[in-house]
Amino acid sequence: MTSLLRPALVLFALLAALTGLLYPLAVTGAARAAFPDQAAGSLVERDGRVVGSRLIGQNFTDPGHFWGRPSATAPTPYNAAASGGSNLGPSNPALVEAVRGRIAALRAAGADPMAAVPVDLVTASASGLDPHISPAAARYQIGRVARARGLPPERVAALVERHTEAPWAGFLGTPRVDVLALNLALDATR
């Protein structure tokens, strides 16, 4: 029995060290060498302080900031440790009620009650962490943000246009707006 158990345990220890320690360290080292910013979390700094990540949305609720997509993560919005959607289908009464509540909150915050609400402002992404909104969702919020900050809407609209990213390589994906970058630019505007 010992003649079978000892080689099995040695092989287990070697494979555990190789796949559980050496391989992850090698991949992490290669990623940090080739893509240092992405491997470190794509962090955004302002005045030497980390204020967020380009990969994870944030819960902006102040009327003077642009709001991102709703987050379905628990126990708090945009919890990267709990990435995932709500898994509620379009005919689920809970989703319908949540969307109605989000529309009411947007309108109560000062949005045009007659304007169509962009879908990405009332539905969460599959990960619940999406840091981007559509240009339509950003334009929908210009009036509220401009009023809250006492800025001309044209100035806020120009910021939205400057922070609208084109599809990758010009044709992959759709135009999008990074909410954190837009809000940081807005905060720098006086």
Q: How many domains does the chain have?
A: 2
Bridge pairing between strands 164-165 and 132-133: unpaired
Query: What is the per-residue pLDDT for 3?
Result: 84
- What is the Cα gyration radius of the chain? 22
Enclosing domain of residue 89:
42-188
Identify whether residues 32 and 48 lie together within a single domain: no
| 63 plus 30 within the same structural domain | no
Q: What pLDDT, on a 0 to 100 scale, did the predictor assign at position 138? A: 96
183 with 94, same domain: the answer is: yes
Is the domain of 163 the same as that of 70?
A: yes
Looking at the fold, whether 176 and 154 belong to one and the same domain comes out as: yes
Read off the amino acid at residue 171: F
Whether 29 and 37 have beta carbons less than 8 Å apart is answered as no
- On whether both 178 and 150 belong to a single domain, the answer is yes
Alpha-carbon separation of residue 43 from 29, 46, 49, 65, 100 (angstroms): 18, 10, 10, 20, 34
Amino acid 88: pLDDT: 85
CA–CA distance, 131 with 53 (Å, rounded to integer): 9
For residues 46 and 135, state if they share a domain.
yes
Residues 10 and 67 in one domain: no
User: Closest Cα partner for 39 from 58, 51, 19, 25?
Assistant: 25
Tell whether 171 and 106 lie within a shared domain.
yes
Is the same domain home to 49 and 114?
yes
What is the mean pLDDT for each group of 10 consecutive residues in the chain (190 residues)? 88 96 95 90 90 91 94 88 83 92 90 88 90 96 95 97 92 94 91
pLDDT of residue 76: 87
